[in-house]
Amino acid sequence: MNIVYNGKLYVFDKNINQREDIFYDRCWYIAKSNPLTEDDIVKNKKLADIYINMKYLGCRYSKGIEKQIKF
């Protein structure tokens, strides 16, 4: 999936076992976080996974981690 957001192109590869809606949400979460460096991208991918776990699986995390997640 390719996303252009704020003038930046983000390219994401889908895991064949991943549902479309989850993949879509994860990609947009990362793009909207506006990562500036490779380190930002790595961090935001991890936060996106936590976001997906919270949204779709009902997982809960410590308050410190949950505050970092933007619903």
Residue 67 has pLDDT above 90, yes or no: no
The widest CA-to-CA distance across the chain, in whole angstroms, is: 34
pLDDT above 70 as % of the chain:
97
Residue 71 has pLDDT above 70, yes or no: no
* pTM of the full structure: 0.85
pLDDT tens figures, 31-65: 999 998 999 999 999 999 999 999 999 999 988 88
d(CA 37, CA 41): 6
Mean pLDDT, the chain, integer: 91
Q: What is the pLDDT of residue 9?
A: 92
